[in-house]
Amino acid sequence: MSATPFALRATGVTRRFGALAAVHDVSLDLQRGEIHAVIGTNGAGKSTLVNLLSGEIPLSAGSVQLDGADVTHWSQPRRARAGLGRSYQRNNIFLPLSVRENCRLAAQMQAQQAWKLWQPAARCRFSTARADQALERAGLAALAGRAAASLSHGQKRQLEVAMCLATTPTVLLLDEPLAGMGPEESARMLDLLRSLRAEHALLLVEHDMEAVFAVADKITVMVDGGVIASGSPEAVRADAQVQAAYLGGHA
Amino acid sequence: MDLTTFLIQCLNSVQYGLLLFLVASGLTLIFGIMGVINLAHGSFYMIGAYMAFTLSSLVGNFALALLLGIVLAVVLGYLLEWCFFSFLYEREHLSQVLMTYGLILVFEELRSILVGDDVHGVAVPAWLGGSIAIGNGMAYPVYRLFMSGVCLAVAAGMYAVIRHTRLGMVVRAGSTNREMVQSLGIDIALLYRVVFAAGMALAVLAGMIAAPVASVYPGMGGSVLIVCFVVVVIGGIGSVKGALVAALLIGFVDTFGKVLWQQAAGVLVYVLMAAILLWKPQGLFRQGT
Amino acid sequence: MHKHIPTAAWAWLAAFVLLALLPVLPEPVGSAFHQELGAKVLIMAIFALSLQLLVGYTGLVSLGHAAFFGFAAYTVALLAPQSEAGNGWWLLAASVGAAALLAFVIGLLVMRTRGIYFIMVTLAFAQMVYFVFHDTDLGGGSDGTYVYIKPEFTLFGHRLLDLEQSAHFYWLALLLTAATVGLLALVLRARLGHALVGIRHNEQRMRAAGCNTTAYKLASFTLAGGLSGVAGFLFAVQHGYVNPEILAWHQSGNALLMVILGGIGSLPGAVLGAFSFVLLAEWFQGMTKHWQLLMGGFIIIAVAVLPQGIAGGFVWLRGRWQARRRPTLAAVVPTPQESTP
C-alpha cells in the first residue's frame, strides 16, 4: 500500500496540562502485522497517549505520522477517515440503536454521500456490507438485531472493537478492550486480536499482564507519562527498571 | 465628547457592569455548581425590583426595605430550591429549560395578580440623594455611586468567601467536580440549598438597588436574563472572575454604544458576544476560577 | 422494482386525507373559524416539526428558533408588493431561503459551542435579531408592517388558490405540512438523518468514526431554520401583519414546549405537540386573563411527569400491551429507532 514500513509513528509526543506533563516525550512505531502493547501503572498516561494519537486532544509537542503523512494537526475525524480507528476504555457505543446500526453508522463515515437524500441508509450496500463483515469478525453476527443496550458487558466490549473494525482502518488503537471481561470472553477477544494482526497495525493498551505477554509482539512500558522501556516481551520482562517499577520483581 | 462627559459615561458603564455582575454571578454559580440552567433567574431580579417598590412603601425606609428584602430572598430561595430546583439536578438541559420557563410564566402572573401590571418608580432615599460635582458644572448622582459601592462590596465579599473560607473551598471544588465533593461526605443537599439561596439573593439585591434608577416594569426580568446569559457566555460558565470581566465589558460597550450609535446600541452587545465566541467558544475564563 | 411502503406512510396519508375533509364538513364542524384554527395549528406544526429535526433528532437544544420563523415572516411582509397580489411561489421561496441563510450564518457562529452554551447563544442571537427589527426602521420598528394583499399561486395563468378564502388557505397549510413531513421523513431515512441521530446519541463516537460532526450539525441547523421559514411564510399570509413580538424568545420557548409535549424524536409527536399546545393556549386564554399562570403550571407538571411527551406515552402503552401478550424480558428493552419516522 505505502512505501513506509511504519503504519503509525509517534515522535516525541508530549501533552501538558498546565505544569503537569501527562505524557512526556513518547516515541513509538507501529507496523502492519504487529501487535504493540502499551502497559503501565494507573495514571501512567496510557489513555492520554491514545487520545493524542487518535487526535481527540491536541499535542503540546511532538508529531504523529500515519502511513507517512504528518497528521499532527489533523482533526480526529480526518485521521479516522484516513484509516486510524480506536476503541474506548469505557463502552462508548450508541446504546439505543441496534448492534448492526452501531457498526453501519461507523462504516458509513468512510463513504458519507450525505447529500444523496433519496437513498435510504438501510439499503446502503457499502455500509451494511462492512457492518456485517465487522460483526462477523467480532463474533456478534447473531446479535445484529438486538438493541446495543441489551448486550452483556463483554458483548459490549466486542461491539466496541467491531465498530472500530467497521471503519476498515489500517491502524487500530485499542484502549483496554479486555476491561471487565471474564476468562472465556478474554480468550475470545485475544483470538480476535491475533486474527486481526495480519492485515492491521494494532496498538493495545492493557492492564492484563497475562494477555499482554500472550499476544504482543512488542511492548512499551510507561511510568508517569514517560517511556521507561520498549522492545520484545522477553527484553521488557528482563529489564531491571520495569521489574522494579511495575512487575514487582517477579518475572 | 469632552472629558467630563467621558468620565460620566465611564462611571455609568462601571455601575451598569457591576450591577450585571451581581445578577450574573448568581446565575453562573448556580450553573457551575449544580449544573442547572435557570431561566427564572431574571425573574428573581424582577422580584427584587418589585420588592423594593412594595417594601419601601410598606416600611417607609429604603435601607430597612433592602435588609428585609435580602432576608426574604434567602428564605424564598431556600424554599424554592427545596420544593422545585432540587428535582432538576438529575434532569437533562431541555427539561430544565422548560421547567424554569414555566416558572417564569408563573412568577410573571403572580406578580400581575399581586401587584398589577403598572410601571412603577421607586424614590431614591433622601440620604442618598443629591449629586457630586464633577468639573465643568456637571454632577454625578450619589445614588449611582452607592450602587457601584454596594456591588463592589458584594464582589469583595464573594471573593473573600470563595478564596478564604472552607465554604468557598467546597464551592470551588464543587464547581469543577461534583461527584468528588459528594464522596468527601459533605452534605451536598445543604450546600446546593445555600448556594441557590445565595444566588437568588444576589439577583434580588441587584433588582432592589436598581429599582430607583431603572423603572419597575413587567418585562424587566426577561431583558436582564438574556444580557446575563451573554455575560456568562463571554465570561465562561462557572467562573465568577469571568462574570466580572464580561459584565464590565458589556457595561462599557452598551453604555458607550447608546451614546455614540443609538440605533445599533441593542445589537452591539451581541456582536461582541459573536466576536468572542469566534475566538474562544468556551468563554474567556475556565470553570471554577 | 417493488418498493416497500412502510405502515407509517399509510397512516400519515390517511391522516392528511381526513384533515383535508375539514372544510367540506357541515357546520359547525367545518366552519370558517375551525378552518382558521386548523390552519393556525398546522402552521405551529410545521414550526415544531422543523425544531424536532434539530432538538429531537440531532440533539441540539436551540432556544432561538423563532428568529428564523420571524425572519421569514418579515421577508414576506417586506417583499410583498403593496398594491397588488405578490407571486406566491417567489415569496415562499424567498422567505424559506432567507430563513435558511440566517440559520446558516448564525449556525456558523454557534456551532462550536456545546451543551448549555449552545442554548444560551442561540437565545442571545435570536434576541439580537429581535432588536434589529424592534429598534430599527427595517420592518417598521415596534409597530411592525403589513401584508396588504395575500399572495397568489398561479400556474400557466390560472390562479390555483384564493388565499382570502379560509378553506383554500387551510388546504395550502395542509399541503405544506405534508411536504414538510415528507421531506423530514426522507432526510431521516437517508444517510444524513442516520448520521444526525448518531450525533445525538454519541457525538464523540461519530467523530472517532470519521464524521465531521460540526458540518452535519450546521446542515441540520440550516435545514431546520429553512423549514421554520415555511411556517413563517404561512403565518405572515394568514395574519397579514408582522411585528417584532413574533421574534420574541417566548415564541422559541413555545416551540420547544411543543416538541417536548409531543415527544422528542418523533415526527407525529411534533404535530401532536403543536396541536395540544395551540388548543391548550386557546382554552386557557378563554378561562382567565391570567392564563399564563395556568400555562406555566401546566408546563412544569407536564415536563415533570411526562418527560417522553405524548408520543412517549403511546410507546410506553404499546410496550405494556406487547408485554401482556408476550410476557418476556423483551418488554424492558426499547426498540431501535433507526427506521421509524
**Axis-axis angle for helices A125-138, A99-108 (nearest 10):** 120
**Residue A150 and residue C208: Cβ atoms within 8 Å?**
no
Residue A89 located in a structural domain: no
**Axis-axis angle for helices B265-279, B240-260 (nearest 10):** 140
Domain check: are A163 and A206 in the same one? no
Looking at chain B, the whole-number percentage of residues with pLDDT higher than 90 is 24
Judged by a CB distance cut-off of 8 A, whether residue B257 touches chain C is: no
A112-116, A222-226, B51-55: range with lowest mean pLDDT:
A112-116
Sheet holding A171-175, edge to edge: A84-87, A171-175, A201-205, A34-40, A218-223, A226-231
Residue A180 located in a structural domain: yes
Domain residues of chain C, as ranges?
32-328
Helices (H), B177-261: 178-183, 188-210, 220-235, 240-260
At the top level of CATH, which class does the domain C32-328 belong to? Answer: mainly alpha
**What number is the ipTM of this complex?**
0.90
Task: Work out how many domains chain A is built from and give that number.
Answer: 2
Mean pLDDT over residues A118-124, rounded?
A: 85
**Residue C192 and residue A94: Cβ atoms within 8 Å?**
no
Q: Is residue B2 predicted with pLDDT exceeding 90?
A: no
Q: Is residue A1 predicted with pLDDT exceeding 60?
A: no
Report DSSP letters for A84-107, one per residue: EEEE-SS--S-TTSBHHHHHHHHH
Residue B224 located in a structural domain: no
Cell of B219: 418585562
Decide which of C310 and A13 is more confident: A13
**Axis-axis angle for helices C191-201, A99-108 (nearest 10):** 110
Q: Residue B98: in which H helix or E strand, if any?
A: helix B93-115
Mean pLDDT over residues B245-251, rounded?
A: 93
**Residue C121 and residue B273: Cβ atoms within 8 Å?**
yes
Helices (H), chain A: 46-54, 76-81, 99-108, 125-138, 153-166, 183-197, 209-215, 233-238, 240-242
Domain check: are A78 and A5 in the same one? yes
Residue B227 located in a structural domain: no
Q: Enumerate residues 189 to 248 of chain C having a beta carbon within 8 A of any beta carbon in chain A.
A: 189-195, 197-198, 201-202, 204-213, 216, 219
pLDDT at B174: 67
Domain check: are A74 and A26 in the same one? yes
pLDDT at C107: 95
Of C272, C341, C261, C270, the C-alpha closest to C309 is C261
Burial of A145 (0-12, 13-18, 19+ CB in 10 A): exposed
- At A5, is the pLDDT very low, low, confident or very high (cuts 50, 70, 90)? low
Residue A119 located in a structural domain: yes
Judged by a CB distance cut-off of 8 A, whether residue A105 touches chain C is: yes
Judged by a CB distance cut-off of 8 A, whether residue A112 touches chain C is: yes
Residue B279 located in a structural domain: no
pLDDT at C116: 84
Q: Which chain C residues contact residue B109 at CB under 8 A? A: 290, 292-293, 296
Q: Is residue B1 predicted with pLDDT exceeding 90?
A: no
Range(s) of the domain holding residue B131: 3-218
Domain check: are A43 and A54 in the same one? yes
Q: Which chain B residues contact residue C125 at CB under 8 A? A: 270, 274
Judged by a CB distance cut-off of 8 A, whether residue B277 touches chain C is: yes
Q: How far apart are CA B218 and CA B222, in angstroms?
A: 9
Q: What is the 3-state secondary structure (H, E, C) of chain C?
A: CCCCCCHHHHHHHHHHHHHHCHHHCCCCCCCHHHHHHHHHHHHHHHHHHHHHHHHHHCCCCCCCCHHHHHHHHHHHHHHCCCCCCCEHHHHHHHHHHHHHHHHHHHHHHHCCCCHHHHHHHHHHHHHHHHHHHHHCCCCCHHHCEECCCCCEEEECCEEEECCCCHHHHHHHHHHHHHHHHHHHHHHHHEHHHHHHHHHHHCHHHHHHHCCCHHHHHHHHHHHHHHHHHHHHHHHHHHHCEECHHHHCHHHHHHHHHHHHHHCCCCHHHHHHHHHHHHHHHHHHHHHCCCHHHHHHHHHHHHHHHCCCHHHHHHHHHHHHHHHHHCCCHHHHCCCCCCCCC
Residue B52 located in a structural domain: yes
A157-161, B10-14, B270-274, C326-330: range with lowest mean pLDDT:
C326-330
Domain check: are A71 and A51 in the same one? yes
Q: Which chain B residues contact residue C121 at CB under 8 A? A: 233, 273, 277
Decide which of C107 and B162 is more confident: C107
Mean pLDDT over residues B44-70, rounded?
A: 86
Point out the residue among C195, C202, C334 whose CB comes nearest to the CB of A114.
Answer: C195
Determine the distance from the C-alpha atom of residue A224 to the mean position of all C-alpha atoms in its chain, rounded to a whole number.
Answer: 21
- Residue type at C209? A
Range(s) of the domain holding residue A195: 1-83+171-251
Task: Note the residue count of chain A.
Answer: 251
- At B178, is the pLDDT very low, low, confident or very high (cuts 50, 70, 90)? low
Q: Which chain A residues contact residue C198 at CB under 8 A? A: 94, 97, 105
**Residue A54 and residue C208: Cβ atoms within 8 Å?**
yes
pLDDT in tens, A176-187: 988 888 888 888
Task: Note the residue count of chain C.
Answer: 341
CB pairs under 8 A between B and C: 121
Mean pLDDT score of chain A: 87
Burial of C17 (0-12, 13-18, 19+ CB in 10 A): exposed
**How many Cβ atoms from other residues are within 10 Å of residue B111's Cβ?**
17
Distance of residue A2 Cα from the nearest chain C Cα, in angstroms:
21
pLDDT in tens, C37-70: 999 999 999 999 999 999 999 999 999 999 999 9
Q: How many CA atoms lie within 13 A of C195 on its CB side?
A: 32
Which of B227, B229, B261 to mutate to probe the C interface, most C CBs <10 Å? Answer: B229
Low-confidence ranges of chain C (pLDDT < 70): 1-5, 326-341
**Axis-axis angle for helices C66-79, C213-239 (nearest 10):** 50
Q: Is residue A246 predicted with pLDDT exceeding 80?
A: no
Residue B202 located in a structural domain: yes
Of A182, A109, A104, the C-alpha closest to A148 is A104
Judge whether A52 and A85 are in contact, CB under 8 Å. Answer: no
**Axis-axis angle for helices C249-262, C32-52 (nearest 10):** 90
Judge whether A107 and A134 are in contact, CB under 8 Å. Answer: yes
Report the Cα–Cα distance between both ends of chain B, in Å, rounded. 37
Judged by a CB distance cut-off of 8 A, whether residue A114 touches chain C is: yes
pLDDT at B289: 62
- Residue type at A28? L
Residue B259 located in a structural domain: no
**Cell 441540539, located at residue:** C60
Domain check: are A78 and A103 in the same one? no
Judge whether A229 and A236 are in contact, CB under 8 Å. Answer: yes
Q: How far apart are CA B228 and CA B41, in angstroms?
A: 9
Judged by a CB distance cut-off of 8 A, whether residue A85 touches chain C is: yes
Q: Which of A126, A146, A168 is the last residue of a domain?
A: A168
Domain check: are A103 and A163 in the same one? yes
Q: Which chain A residues contact residue C209 at CB under 8 A? A: 77, 80, 85, 105-106, 109, 163, 166-167
Residue A196 located in a structural domain: yes
Q: How far apart are CA A16 and CA B271, in angstroms?
A: 34
Distance of residue C203 Cα from the nearest chain A Cα, in angstroms:
10
pLDDT in tens, B18-30: 999 999 988 988 8
Q: Enumerate residues 237 to 256 of chain B having a beta carbon within 8 A of any beta carbon in chain C.
A: 237
Q: Which chain C residues contact residue A119 at CB under 8 A? A: 190-191
Residue A168: DSSP 8-state: -
Task: Work out how many domains chain B is built from and give that number.
Answer: 1
Domain check: are A73 and A186 in the same one? yes
Q: Are strands A201-205 and A171-175 parallel, antiparallel or unpaired?
A: parallel
Cell of A224: 508517569
Residue B271 located in a structural domain: no
